[in-house]
Amino acid sequence: MVAEDFVGTVRSYVESTDVEPLRREEYAVFERLGLPTVRHEEWKYTNLLPRLTPALQIPTSTSHAEVDETIRQATERFGFTAHQIVLVNGVLAPSLSSLPDGVTVVPSLTSASPRDAELIHAASASRSQDHAIAALGAALAPNVVVVRVAKDTALTMPLHVVRVIDARNGAPLTSTRMVVDVEEFASVDIIDTVTTIGESATFSPNVLDITVHPEAKASWTLVVDDTQASANISYATAHVHRSAVFTSNTFCLGGGFVRNDLVIRLVGQQAEAYLNGLSVLHDAEFADNHTVVDHAVPHCHSDELYKGVYDGTSTGVFNGKIFVRKDAQKTLAYQSNRSLLLSSGANINAKPQLEIFADDVKCSHGATMGQLDDEAMFYLRSRGIGENDARAILTYAFAADIIERVSNAEVRTYLTARLAERLGSEMLSA
């Protein structure tokens, strides 16, 4: 019933006059696949239904977002030196945004330049058609952020996509869609944050399609640090071409419900992908990371490290797939998932999955889960460090090496401070 009402809400929205054919096509994919349930293998531990409250509403489309003081403050907490794109409930807030050359926020395909429209269509076509929530996200997004980094160029600053979800009046069902195209020898560094203001429920399925052309470099750092009533879903696909490098950093430092799908296809020789992830959860928070690294051609390299710290009654899910296709000889593919359980009520479901069809490859995977080391705790306490601080220090040490993998120093500083705050130790932030 809940599911039917939800689908009904989306259907009547996409059937309204101002929604374009492409978004209706995306909706059709969503409707055909249906909402995933826990009977679906990829959603076994991740139940969407409790998040589909009848209160959810799709905000009325506007040409640009109105900004008030609270929204402004929500965007100012980061303070990164970056080109900033602020989207409120998926709609651009021009007064808070500064778009560099090559970056456009497209309200509709008809108003988009032919090249942007082509990129958006191509992205929709290249995404695998088996993910209902990705199609839902693309159907719902009122704007599309198109990032095109021209050949041989690099943005002077990182691009910070500041997603603000306004849940002060009602429970928004909204999404952001991004299409990123990094041309040959170009590079881009994208920071993607989500902040909800207000305490109502939210449901936000976001979609990112990124293409890293030969010899180009792209990094994407997603930071979910959100309210208990929020539900953030991200579906990101990266196609990485010859000698290109893609790095993803996925942080979950809070949020009632988080599901991230990251699909990386290494389609050109000597492509490289680095996947770093850190979830630090407490209370009843939930975070699910599903990753796929697909080695389609020879001589590519992927390296994945996801860590999780679970306190309270929080739950983590990690599902990491690596495919090495028959022709993908000389592949190097590594995956590691490490979990720290800080309370007896916390849970982790980890499933590494390697499918290797080539015979001359180096691949490894491993999953560990454990608790804080008693000996280390005692050692710190025996030097006068209190029990809570000792726990925080050891937990911090476990988690911090993921933060160190982020290349941007300001982002590292921000994440470090948030981590320290979350671990509840003043000492760490000093």
Partner 1 sequence: MKPILTIDNLRAGIEGREILKGISLTVNAGEVHAIMGPNGSGKSTLASVLAGREDYAVIDGSVRFAEADLLEMSPEDRSREGLFLAFQYPVEIPGVSTANFLKTAVSEHRKHRGLPPLDPGSFLKLMREKMALVEMDPSFLQRSLNEGFSGGEKKRNEVFQMAMLEPKLAVLDETDSGLDIDALRIVADGVNALRSSENAFLVITHYQRLLNYIVPDVVHVLVDGRIVKSGGKELALELEERGYDWIRNESSVGA
Q: How far is the CB of 388 from partner 1 (least distance, A)?
A: 10
Q: How far is the CB of 14 from partner 1 (least distance, A)?
A: 49
Residue number with CB closer to partner 1 (163 or 338): 338
Distance CA 135, CA 221 (A): 22
Stretch that binds partner 1, among 208-216, 231-239, 272-280, 370-378 (CB under 8 A): 370-378
Which of 68, 283, 379, 421 binds partner 1 (CB under 8 A)? It is 379
Contact status, residue 321 vs residue 351, Cβ threshold 8 Å: no
Distance CA 37, CA 34 (A): 9
* Residues in 381-420 at the binding interface with partner 1, rule: CB under 8 A: 381-387, 389-390, 393-394, 396-398, 400-401
Identity of the amino acid at 390: A
Site size for partner 1, by CB under 8 A? 23
Residue 306 binds to partner 1 (criterion: CB under 8 A): no
Identity of the amino acid at 396: Y
Distance CA 74, CA 163 (A): 10
* Residues in 178-197 at the binding interface with partner 1, rule: CB under 8 A: none
Count helices and strands in the chain by DSSP H and E runs? 9, 21
Query: Residue 388: phi, psi to the nearest 5?
Result: -65, -40
End-to-end CA distance of the chain: 51
Which of 170, 380, 410, 424 binds partner 1 (CB under 8 A)? It is 380
Residue 325 binds to partner 1 (criterion: CB under 8 A): no
Q: How far is the CB of 306 from partner 1 (least distance, A)?
A: 17
Contact status, residue 183 vs residue 148, Cβ threshold 8 Å: yes
Q: Which residues pair with 208 in a beta bridge?
A: 178, 236
Distance CA 365, CA 303 (A): 10
Where does residue 312 fall: left (phi above 0), alpha (psi -120 to 50 degrees), or beta otherwise?
A: left
Residue number with CB closer to partner 1 (52 or 403): 403
The angle formed by the CA atoms of residues 51, 238 and 307, to the nearest 5 degrees, is 60
Residue number with CB closer to partner 1 (236 or 309): 309
Residue 427 binds to partner 1 (criterion: CB under 8 A): yes
Residue number with CB closer to partner 1 (292 or 427): 427
Residue number with CB closer to partner 1 (168 or 412): 412
Residue number with CB closer to partner 1 (197 or 380): 380
Residue 354 binds to partner 1 (criterion: CB under 8 A): no
Q: How far is the CB of 377 from partner 1 (least distance, A)?
A: 9
Query: Residue 26: phi, psi to the nearest 5?
Result: -60, -40
Which of 15, 283, 373, 421 binds partner 1 (CB under 8 A)? It is 373
Where does residue 341 fall: left (phi above 0), alpha (psi -120 to 50 degrees), or beta otherwise?
A: beta
Residue number with CB closer to partner 1 (357 or 378): 378
Residue number with CB closer to partner 1 (359 or 375): 375
User: At 300, which helix (H) or strand (E)?
Assistant: none
Footprint of partner 1 (CB under 8 A): 373, 375-376, 378-387, 389-390, 393-394, 396-398, 400-401, 427
